Structure 1
Amino acid sequence: MEQIRFFIEDMAASWPGELSMTITPDFSRQAECHDFEVFMSGRQGLRQRMNIGIRCTTPSTWTAYTPVSVKLSGVYYVTSRSVNAGTLLSLDDLIPVEGDLLTLPAGSLLDPGQIVGYIATQRLAARRPIRATALRSPESVERGQRVRIEVRGTGFVASSDGHAMQGGEPGTQIQVRTASGQIVTATVLNAQTVLIPM
């Protein structure tokens, strides 16, 4: 059924790789339908096996589900060796692999641009896909790290030292303890600096 195919293709539009699917509709016991919609229950994403719903509205009302098998063939990257936490990843740490992207663990990174230049937050096993949660930006702040606190207002900039109470990527807000012991909320600018706007 073309409408189901279009529905799956739309779901896969943001993914790289080559899409293929097997649709096995069985509407033999359903009444004739002139007007219908294709849907999926809940907020499920693209998966290897899916049940796609058909909701008929005229001339009679009925709902049926069609099993669909989906494959998304493409290239992803795995570690070429085991990588220790704190390592800055380079292209030499990666190997391209071809396979079904839908079999990868949730949150796996497909683009080497999202991996190279980032720092491992945990030990990465050899020949395994890399999850976004296992990396941090080199411009991020780590918990307990000493940071420079900048206070900016109209016509002035003041700075002092402090310690990050939380880790955070650039643009995120974290709690920082000032030299006087006060806890303030600041925005991460880079690996050394947080900002408090006035």
Structure 2
Amino acid sequence: MRIMMWWLGAMLSLLVMPVEADELGAQLNQFFKTRDPLHAAGINVVVRTPEKQWPTCSAPQLSLPGNSRLWGNMSVAATCDRERRFLQVEVQVTGDYVVANRQIPRGSALTAGDIQIKQGRLDTLPARTVLDPQQIVEAVSVRDILPDQPVTLSMVRQAWRVKAGQPVLVIAQGDGFNVSSEGRALNNATAMQRVRVRMENGQIVSGSVNADGNILITL
């Protein structure tokens, strides 16, 4: 009888043992790789929560708040049946990012020679670091950028596609018609931004700048 009770107690203790470290690590890595397939090859998840606080089932359901960032320190909900535990994890990511190749003065239009690609820990970089050089093609620096400094989107702006006072073509489009007329831009704007235009008859209209510099108005 004692042997039977000991065996039953041992089996019950096994049922509440936390998931193995290797197994939980593999599940978390797969979870974050699926969430960010572009950088899946460089993802490594480190669990910071003590093992005794891990979920007790072998395959917990993992989830994140909808506004969670992709990398860095975050909290993951791990649910086993009706029991939910929160795991503190560090999502480390290695990949390519853009740095300045030389000192770039404020107001300079960036060229291919101004930047280069480096590889390193993306999760330790400043917010909105540029990962793809195509993001800043023809961009203009809004501050001085130092050599080897990671370039962020807050350091640059897109080049003006339309400038205040510039003659522009306004194209009004609607159901079954397309009308164009000339006017003069009243403010600077990049592609896809809104711009106000004074038409030849004095009327002021507002539309979006397309890649060609024309102003599109949808009626």
> TM-score scaled to structure 2, two decimals?
0.70
Distance 1:150 1:77, change over 3 A: same
Match of 1:81 in 2: 102
CA offsets 1:129-184 (integer angstroms, 9 cap, x no match): 22234434447334x352413235667754323123352324x4333233554321
Distance 1:17 1:131, change over 3 A: farther
Kindly indicate whether residue 75 of structure 2 is the aligned counterpart of residue 54 of structure 1: no
Q: Which moved more, 1:17-26 or 1:28-37?
A: 28-37
Q: Is the 8 A contact 1:168 1:188 kept in 2?
A: yes
Q: Which moved more, 1:119-128 or 1:24-33?
A: 24-33
Percent sequence identity over aligned pairs: 22
Q: Is the 8 A contact 1:4 1:52 kept in 2?
A: no
Number of equivalences: 192
1:186 paired residue among 176, 187, 207: 207
Distance 1:78 1:134, change over 3 A: same
Q: Which runs of 5+ in 2 are unaligned?
A: 1-23
CA distance in 2, matches of 1:82, 1:34: 53
Kindly indicate whether residue 36 of structure 2 is the aligned counterpart of residue 12 of structure 1: yes
Distance 1:10 1:164, change over 3 A: farther
Q: Is the 8 A contact 1:20 1:70 kept in 2?
A: yes
1:41 paired residue among 62, 65, 76: 65
Looking at secondary structure, tell me which structure has more helix per residue. 2
1:108 paired residue among 102, 117, 129: 129
Using the TM superposition, give the Cα deviation of residue 26 of structure 1 relative to its aligned residue in structure 2, in angstroms.
Answer: 4.4
Using the TM superposition, give the Cα deviation of residue 40 of structure 1 relative to its aligned residue in structure 2, in angstroms.
Answer: 1.8
Looking at secondary structure, tell me which structure has more strand per residue. 1
CA distance in 2, matches of 1:124, 1:45: 28
- Could you tell me which amino acid in structure 2 is paired with residue 23 of structure 1? V
Using the TM superposition, give the Cα deviation of residue 16 of structure 1 relative to its aligned residue in structure 2, in angstroms.
Answer: 7.0
Q: How does 1:95-134 map to 2 (within 5 A)?
A: 95-115=116-136, 117-126=137-146, 127-134=148-155
> TM-score scaled to structure 1, two decimals?
0.77
Q: Is the 8 A contact 1:79 1:128 kept in 2?
A: yes
RCO higher in 1 or 2 (8 Å CA, sep ≥ 6)? Answer: 1
Using the TM superposition, give the Cα deviation of residue 195 of structure 1 relative to its aligned residue in structure 2, in angstroms.
Answer: 2.9
- Could you tell me which amino acid in structure 1 is paired with residue 37 of structure 2? A
Aligned alpha-carbon RMSD (Å): 3.1
CA offsets 1:41-96 (integer angstroms, 9 cap, x no match): 35111222222111221xxx221122222221122121122323442212210133
The structure having more radius of gyration, on CA atoms, is 2
